[in-house]
Amino acid sequence: MTVLILSTLEDVHAQAVMAALASQGGHAEVLDLSDFPTRLELSMAFNDSQRKFELRRRGSGALDLDRIKAVWWRRPQSFMPPPGMSPDHQRFVVSESASAFQGLYQALDAFWINNPAGDSVAAHKPYQLALAQRIGLDIPATLITNSVEEARAFWRAHDGEVIYKQFVALPGSWRETRRLSHNDETHADAVAHAPVIFQRHVPAIADIRVTAVGGVLFAAAADVRQGEYPQDVRMNMNVKYEAHELPPEVTRKIATLMATLDLVYGAIDLRLTPEGQYVFLEINPAGQFLYIEEATGQPIAATLATTLLRRPTSNPWTSNLS
């Protein structure tokens, strides 16, 4: 069976899942959307009761998209218009390409990890927090605002124990989660230009990464007390992850979150407090997992491959709720 992976050939996560698929008798094709339209041609033909969907690399062979039975929406790249076009023409090319491919995604008779529409909705942090709160997961006190006065009031209400972070980590403006300091007061007016996520800092003994794949949870913990940057475990390259067992109630709530978001895959970040409370921070529908697999030996890539080949007909998380 052929699985389509929307990413790049250089993506080590795509490489790991391709290898896992091959070991289980599957085959994968990687679709790099930045090759469209300069190096790729798309054809969708409808004739009487027949249809033919095809991608062709210019000067090379074709991929019969009707043979695709599973798709991994890993890290799709942006369409790249031909160089030398005016900005208006570039926007036109990207808009038309996006419309054509969105229609293709919906028309494919394939199993998705994750469905692009659901993946997009699930990525919104305010929605994640609202659902987590409704499900009963503990969340930090949070303020999302572009009001300078509201931000200052939040700072005072939590005795300065506040972190702030971005909605989306753009390549050119990525910032780690930061602790708000008195020195930031000189930049307070900048809050008015765009909404900022402020949260009460959650003291923790461990950061927990939960990789949710096809009805299976792989939890791993890193002792943040051993790190140099307690606000963001991503900055503590020396901190080792170890396999971790979640309480049954937390497991059930995460399964509920996955089912409600209609996701097959997701990477969830929690904090474990000294009092034993598991605090939900966020979920990334396309979060990284290889660093967890390499540290713990948890078979995440293999489970992803198995799920793509098995193609469950209903959301695999609903069975976890019985």
pLDDT digits (tens, 9 = 90+) for 262-308: 999 999 999 999 999 999 999 999 999 999 999 999 999 999 999 99
| pTM of this structure | 0.89
List Cβ neighbours of 183 (8 Å cut-off, separation of 6 or more). none
Percent with pLDDT over 70 in the chain:
90
pLDDT band at residue 169, thresholds of 50, 70 and 90?
Answer: low
Percent of the chain at pLDDT exceeding 90: 71
Fold of the domain spanning 2-113: Rossmann fold (3.40.50)
CATH of domain 120-138+203-321: 3.30.470.20
3-state secondary structure of 289: coil
Position 170 confidence tier, pLDDT thresholds 50, 70, 90: low
pLDDT tens for 90-104 read 999 999 999 999 999
CA 233 – CA 206 distance, rounded (Å):
9
- 298 Cβ contact partners less than 8 Å away, ≥ 6 residues apart: 211, 218, 220, 243, 292
Residue 235 pLDDT: 46
Domain ranges within the chain, ordered by starting residue? 2-113, 120-138+203-321, 142-200
In the three-class reduction of DSSP (H, G, I as helix; E, B as strand; rest coil), residue 137 is classed as coil
- b/e code 240-266 from CB counts within 10 Å (16+ = b): ebeebebeeebeebbbbbbbebebbbb
Residue 227 has pLDDT above 80, yes or no: no
Asked if 291 contacts 6 with a C-beta cutoff of 8 angstroms, the reply is: no
Q: Under CATH, what is the fold of the domain 142-200? A: Dna Ligase; domain 1 (3.30.1490)
pLDDT digits (tens, 9 = 90+) for 21-34: 999 999 999 999 99
Alpha-carbon span 117 to 105, nearest angstrom = 10
